Amino acid sequence: MKTFYPEVSKTAEFHALLQGSVAPRPIAFASTVDKEGKVNLSPFSFFNLFSTNPPIVIFSPSRRVRDNTTKHTLENVLEVPEVVIHVVSFDLVEQMSLASTEYPKGVNEFEKAGLTAVASEKVKPPRVKEAQIAMECRVNEVKALGDQGGAGNLVICEVLALHVSETVLDQDGTINPDKLDAVARLGGNWYSRASGDALFQIPKPLRTMGIGVDQLPDAVRNSTVLSGNNLGRLANVEELPSAAEIQEMSHFAEVVEIKRRFVNDPESLVNHLHDLAKSYLEKGEVEMAWRVLLQ
């Protein structure tokens, strides 16, 4: 491990390392206005959800590292404490990036990025018509975290209205991540796409009282085949298969063949059984994996 300390590292270097480390980060595509009504639209990847009741989201327009100046978005929310935050889908990512250009104050990024401004219901800043999700927010507080280049400014926003395109909703009213196709920020010029093969599901431990990795049989816990992720999934069960279920598994053709081939090679026998169990885990069949492991 190479260790970096903020007090001895250059701010720009440490900034890049942090951005590469805390990733992927959701993007707040923020629309604001100044006291004269001039519109600004800019993306920020220091952003997340912090409360549901009240509904609070926070984003942070940092002071520029190179010259310690502030961004128009920060100046605007201090003048007019309202903002519309949009979620960036893949079909908007290039226009979003273009809107991040540091145009002079007063230049309308909606026009520069080729996006359509539509009136909001609750706040003065307009919404991006093309965005699949938009949050109209009141700015409750702006908290400065420092006064030097790179210092963040927490813009604490209360969501007054949430607009969601029906095209991203499933029949049960939940947002389908594949349909939303959201993008997130990494370090440098890198982004990630939250859809397709990048998506996977893990059963929530809250629904069960998992036995824990410490309760796994030694042969399983110390396996040279199973990964830490595999062990975590195996440990998220409340009880192990019954003797009858284990016995039933012993008659499966794959298990019978492994036992026949490696009857005189205990180490290979265990490894091949663990390989078979791993294949079940990769298909989400945890109970079947356990039945194999307990042969």
Band (pLDDT 50/70/90 cuts) for residue 207 is low
* Angle, in degrees to the nearest 10, between helices 266-282 and 286-293: 170
What is the pLDDT at residue 203? 79
Give the residue-averaged pLDDT of 228-241.
93
Q: How far is CA 212 from CA 86, 123, 221, 273, in A?
A: 40, 49, 11, 21
The dihedral through the CA atoms of 7, 10, 15, 16 has a sign that is: negative
- Asked whether 292 and 273 are in contact (CB, 8 A), the reply is yes
Measure the CA–CA gap between 256 and 272, rounded to whole angstroms: 12
Band (pLDDT 50/70/90 cuts) for residue 130 is very high
Task: Name the more confident of 113 and 208.
Answer: 113
Kind of pairing between the strands at 153-164 and 39-44: unpaired
Measure the CA–CA gap between 88 and 291, rounded to whole angstroms: 44
C-alpha dihedral, 42 to 47 to 50 to 52, nearest 10°: 40
Measure the CA–CA gap between 74 and 52, rounded to whole angstroms: 24
Task: Name the more confident of 203 and 87.
Answer: 87
Band (pLDDT 50/70/90 cuts) for residue 205 is confident
State the DSSP H helix or E strand holding residue 133, giving kind and residue range, or none if neither: strand 133-144
Which residue bears the tokens 């201090």? 78
pTM for the whole structure: 0.86
Instruction: Give percent of the chain with pLDDT exceeding 90.
Output: 91
List all residues 6 or more positions away from 109 whose beta carbon is below 8 Å from its beta carbon. Answer: 39, 40, 41, 42, 99, 101, 103, 115
Q: Residue 106 has what DSSP assignment?
A: T
What is the pLDDT at residue 69? 87
- State pLDDT tens for residues 21-46: 999 999 999 999 999 999 999 999 99
User: What share of residues in the chain are helix, strand, coil (percent, to 5)?
Assistant: 35, 25, 40
pLDDT at 171 over 90: yes
- Asked whether 128 and 89 are in contact (CB, 8 A), the reply is no
Closest alpha carbon to 284 in 213, 233, 223: 233
DSSP per-residue letters across 8-21: TS-HHHHHHHHHHH
Measure the CA–CA gap between 82 and 137, rounded to whole angstroms: 6
Which residue bears the tokens 């927010």? 137
